């Protein structure tokens, strides 16, 4: 399964609804929402009221990538606001297992995020409980950064861990620096969900940009 998840981080926030409609037309599968608190990462984006206000715009699933400390305090509100998938950074919370269970019990898909320097083996125990893994291919905090090539090895390591633990059903999401030039190679490594911010929303025609990314990963 291959899915494109445009990140609205690089969209024009003065017309967020229209921006979402554009990528929906281009065939986006998921809308990726980057939630930053200025503490876990050195940047601040938006929160629950914004998610609520864009929820009626589209029926596409909302994927909240929480780059916040103590994510356990906010997951319920995000899910109530209409988020369907939630990922958090394991080092942002003390009780990862409890949080995964909480997210799932509230009816959303639960994912954990690995920063570029976080090894795959930190997933060894939590892998039995999660629905997806988000691998950061840049350092979290900003759009428009360069893809870190070592990430491809990491995806391969994750595939091995999935085989070893019998969790080949887990989806692999990648986030950072994804564009037309590299998406096919990243896809070949085994990634399922491709987050793309600047390569979609900074393009002249975001709908067309999504369409092109989709075509590249079709086979
Ligand atoms: C970075 C965010 C990404 C970001 C990706 O912290 O998690 O989702 O929007 O942006 P691009 O695709 O521009 O690298
Ligand atoms: Zn993200």
**pLDDT at residue 91, as a whole number:** 97
Reported as half-sphere exposure (CB side, CA atoms, 13 A), residue 36 has a value of: 16
| Domain annotation covers residue 1 | no
pLDDT in tens, 148-180: 999 999 999 999 999 999 999 999 999 999 999
List the catalytic residue out of 29, 34, 37, 131. Answer: 34
Structure tokens at 192: 């399922």
Domain contains 133: yes
Domain membership of residue 6 (yes or no) is: no
Is the whole model's pTM more than 0.95, yes or no? yes
Residue 72 in domain: yes
Q: What is the ipTM of this complex?
A: 0.98
- Of all protein residues, whose CA lies closest to atom 6 belonging to ligand 1? 140
Domain around 108: 12-216
Find the helix or strand (DSSP H, E) in which 160 lies: helix 151-164
Query: What CATH number is associated with residue 185?
Result: 3.20.20.70
Q: Would you tell me the crossing angle of helices 16-25 and 206-216 to the nearest 10 degrees?
A: 40
Q: How much distance in Å is there from the Cα of 7 to the middle of ligand 1?
A: 7
H/E segment holding residue 198: helix 198-201
Each residue's pLDDT tens digit, 35-88:
999 999 999 999 999 999 999 999 999 999 999 999 999 999 999 999 999 999
How much is the pLDDT for 36?
98
In the predicted model, is pLDDT for residue 219 greater than 90?
no
- Evaluate whether residue 142 is within a structural domain: yes
- Count of domains forming the chain: 1
In the chain, what is the greatest distance between 2 CA atoms, to the nearest angstrom? 47
For ligand 1, is residue 127 a contact (CB within 6 Å)? no
As given in the structure block, the two tokens for residue 141 are 């905090």
pLDDT tens-digit map of 5-18 = 999 999 999 999 99
pLDDT tens digits along 71-84:
999 999 999 999 99
Classify residue 216 by its DSSP letter: H
pLDDT for 218 = 87
pLDDT (tens digit, 9 = 90+) per residue, 89-132?
Answer: 999 999 999 999 999 999 999 999 999 999 999 999 999 999 99
Distance CA 115, CA 139 (A): 7
Q: Is residue 3 part of a domain?
A: no
Q: Measure the CA–CA gap between 66 and 180, rounded to whole angstroms.
A: 26
pLDDT at 211 over 90: yes
Q: Is residue 70 part of a domain?
A: yes
pLDDT band at 26 (very low <50, low <70, confident <90, very high): very high
DSSP-assigned letter for residue 147: P
164 CA to centre of ligand 1 in angstroms: 30
Ligand 1 centroid to Cα of residue 3, in Å, is: 16
Asked whether 140 lines ligand 1 (CB < 6 A), one says: yes
Give all strands (DSSP E) within the chain, no chain letters. Answer: 3-6, 31-36, 62-67, 85-89, 109-114, 132-136, 171-175, 193-196
* β partners of residue 214: none
Is residue 192 domain-resident? yes
For residues 31 and 62, the answer to whether their CB atoms sit within 8 Å is yes
Round to whole Å and give the CA distance between 147 and 203.
Answer: 18
Query: With a 6 A CB cut-off, is 9 part of the ligand 1 pocket?
Result: yes
Q: Give the separation between CA 156 and CA 135, rounded to whole angstroms.
A: 11
């Amino acid at each position: 399964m291959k899915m494109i998840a445009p990140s609205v981080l690089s969209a024009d926030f003065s017309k967020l609804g229209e921006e979402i409609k554009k990528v929906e037309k281009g065939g986006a599968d998921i809308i990726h929402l980057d939630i930053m608190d200025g503490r876990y990462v050195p940047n601040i984006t938006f929160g629950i009221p914004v998610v609520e206000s864009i929820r009626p715009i589209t029926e596409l699933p909302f994927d909240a990538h929480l780059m916040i400390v103590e994510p356990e305090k906010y997951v319920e509100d995000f899910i109530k606001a209409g988020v369907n998938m939630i990922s958090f950074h394991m080092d942002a919370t003390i009780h990862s297992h409890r949080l995964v269970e909480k997210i799932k019990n509230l009816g959303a898909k639960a994912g954990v995020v690995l920063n570029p320097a976080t090894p795959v083996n930190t997933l060894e125990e939590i892998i039995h409980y999660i629905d997806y893994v988000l691998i950061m291919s840049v350092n979290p905090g900003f759009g428009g950064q360069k893809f870190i090539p070592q990430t491809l090895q990491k995806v391969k390591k994750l595939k091995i861990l999935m085989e070893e633990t019998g969790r080949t059903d887990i989806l692999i999401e990648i986030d950072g620096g994804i564009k037309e030039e590299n998406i096919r190679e990243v896809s070949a490594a085994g990634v399922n969900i491709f987050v793309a911010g600047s390569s979609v929303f900074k393009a002249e025609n975001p709908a067309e940009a999504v369409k092109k990314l989709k075509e590249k990963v079709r086979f």
